[in-house]
Amino acid sequence: MTTMATAPAPGFESPGVEDFQLPPIFGPVTKPVLELVLAAIIVVVLFRLAVRKPQLVPGKMQFMGESFHGIVRNSIAKDMIGKAFLGYVPFLTALFAFILVNNLFGIIPFIQFPTFAHPGVPYALALVVWVVYTWVGIRHHGLGGYIRISTWPPDVPWWVRIILTPIEFLSNIILRPVTLSLRLFGNMFAGHLLLLLFILGGEYMLFTADSILLKILSPFAFLMGIVFTFFEAFIQVVQAYIFVMLTASYIGTVLADDH
């Protein structure tokens, strides 16, 4: 990661992991910590505005709130979970909104740091998801039933099962939260690094480098930075969506009944 720029000009330090270590603002509070609080406030305020005076024919805010809620409710929860989906809609919607806002902080001017480029909260949220779907599975099937549907491929000889069951156990019970969190963290981390590279690189080319050629070429670096900002916006939305969709799918999987 630290050597992404293929031929750094003399004196150029390509951005690396150390750029993600942000200095504390006061006490132990760093920028991501404030972002987490801000994200929660933004989400709550927007949703409260949406239901300030609920009407059958919605106003603009209410319409947007309903649309957001409706996407999670009808496109994610209903498809992934099935008949008992309604109880999980609040958790999934809150999760989607919280992750989405935190991700979008990566391209919002003056904030410009995706909170989940630090892995702590993705770990925590994935653990919460793991606890939720494990608990739902055990409640629905009992402990044995839950382990059976998660690790017991049907209709295979016992010696095949000896091989397959550990794989499913690892995949379904251990790796799910790991991949869930690392997918989110990795995308945010790499995306932010990419933007840093273009912007800091352009800055260096324009102000620091001696070469006139680099100064002339610097707008291209900034242009690429802008292009990738839009690309990142897309990635940030998609990653929030995937996190929630997979969460719903895990819940749906542990709720699926025998046939």
Q: Which residues, numbered 232-251, are part of the site for other proteins (CB under 8 A)?
A: 242, 245-246, 249-250
Does residue 126 belong to the site contacting other proteins (CB under 8 A)?
A: no
Rounded Cα gap, residues 135 and 205, in angstroms? 54
Q: Which residue in 25, 175, 213, 216 binds other proteins (CB under 8 A)? A: 175
Cβ atoms 127, 241 nearer than 8 A: no
Q: Which residue in 25, 37, 131, 223 binds other proteins (CB under 8 A)? A: 37
Does residue 112 belong to the site contacting other proteins (CB under 8 A)?
A: no
Rounded Cα gap, residues 83 and 103, in angstroms? 31
Q: Which residue in 6, 7, 21, 158 binds other proteins (CB under 8 A)? A: 21
Does residue 133 belong to the site contacting other proteins (CB under 8 A)?
A: no
Q: Which stretch binds other proteins (CB under 8 A): 4-12, 43-51, 195-203, 219-227?
A: 43-51
Q: Where in 149-168 is the site for other proteins (CB under 8 A)?
A: 149-150, 152-156, 160, 163-164, 166-168
Q: Where in 201-230 is the site for other proteins (CB under 8 A)?
A: none
Torsions phi, psi for 26 (to 5 deg) = -150, 140
Does residue 147 belong to the site contacting other proteins (CB under 8 A)?
A: no
Transcribe 130-179 into DSSP letters.
HHHHHHHHHHHHHHHHHHHHHH--SS--HHHHHHHHHHHIIIIIIIHHHH
Cβ atoms 77, 248 nearer than 8 A: yes
Q: Where in 68-97 is the site for other proteins (CB under 8 A)?
A: 69, 78-86, 89-91, 93-95, 97
Rounded Cα gap, residues 140 and 188, in angstroms? 35
Q: Hey, what amino acid is at 30?
A: T
Q: State the nearest-atom distance from the C-beta of 99 to other proteins, in Å.
A: 9
